[in-house]
Amino acid sequence: MPTTDPESTWDDGIPPVFLAPGRRTYRTADGSARVQHEVVGPAGTWLLCAAGEFDSDSVGALHEALGDARRAGAERILLDLSRVTFGDSVFLHELLKAHDGPGRLVLVGPLTGQVRRLFELTGTLRLFRLALDRGSAGLG
């Protein structure tokens, strides 16, 4: 489970409290899921690239990444889901909380079959802003 403990370290072993905002990877302890924060323009936009399987054991990485974006005052959060291979109701709940929170959440595809099916079965895809790919999200 990821942590926001100030004693924790980022990928390079340096405590996060000593680093300027920038690229960061949020990982689960078992490696089943990760979320990468990539620095993109314009200011106020956060690009988060999720990969792997998100369930009750791994959604903490996504929760932490979205929380950091909100705490940083992100006006727009682009969440690339194109490499998410599995998401359950806990994953969907985290996306719904982010949708209702501060900052404009945009899901970036293409969505994998399982993730698209999750949205179809629950009727929730219509609630989200969706960019079909990085290009249509303005990322070139």
Q: What is the pLDDT of residues 69-118, one digit of tens each?
A: 999 999 999 999 999 999 999 999 999 999 998 889 999 999 999 999 99
pLDDT at site 21: 56
Q: In this model, does residue 1 exceed pLDDT 90? A: no
List beta partners, residue 37.
Answer: 24, 48
Q: Flag whether pLDDT at 39 surpasses 80.
A: yes
Q: Who's near 97: CB < 8 A, 6+ residues apart?
A: 66
Average pLDDT, integer, range 16-25: 59
Spell out the domains of the chain, with CATH numbers in brackets: 16-131 (3.30.750.24)
HSE of 39, CA atoms in CB hemisphere, 13 A:
5
